[in-house]
Structure 1
């Protein structure tokens, strides 16, 4: 079962990922610094929750793209 996050965390996280897709990675500490720079007035807790959501989404997208490459290599060979 996945982690349950409030809608505002997801909304801000998705918006940041759409506007700045190249600034985020699968490293939480890096994402925490980037979110701190991009989101003005966010508390430490909100910043960390947004960074955690973005980190999990980046990891999920990375795994999905690696899996699709792997299946395309198996099917094409």
Structure 2
């Protein structure tokens, strides 16, 4: 595993709730919880953490929208089924009427 990923996961395991979607804020938080002397390494870790958090949030939003669309689809399907049931009842009523007009002539 890449060094940046490994270090990022180590930090995220213990302090994930502190990080957000903003790189600058994540860099400040990283300064508070870890000692990283190399500016470049700190930036790479903060960048990876930011990317990771954004991806998690995006995936969660996609999952929620899929759940919502599934609920709407199921509701629409139930409405269609109930409409089909009422149409069948109407058809049955129409078919069951006696043909008295043809016998009267």
The TM-score normalised by the length of structure 2 is 0.64
Give the direction of change, closer, same or farther, for the CA distance of 1:27–1:41 in structure 2 (3 Å limit). Answer: closer
Q: Which has the higher contact order (CA 8 A, sep 6+)?
A: 1
* Unaligned 5+ runs, structure 1: 1-5
Shift of 1:42: 2.9
Calculate the aligned-residue CA RMSD, in Å: 1.3
How far, CA to CA, are the matches of 1:38 and 1:55 in structure 2? Answer: 16
Shift of 1:32: 0.4
* Unaligned 5+ runs, structure 2: 73-105
Among 10, 15, 38, the residue aligned to 1:15? 10
- Tell me if structure 2 keeps the 8 A contact 1:36–1:42: no
Q: Does 1:40 align with 2:35?
A: yes
Q: Which has the higher helix share?
A: 2
Displacement over 2 Å in runs of 4+: none
How far, CA to CA, are the matches of 1:14 and 1:70 in structure 2? Answer: 28
- Rg larger in 1 or in 2? 2
Aligned to 1:29: 24
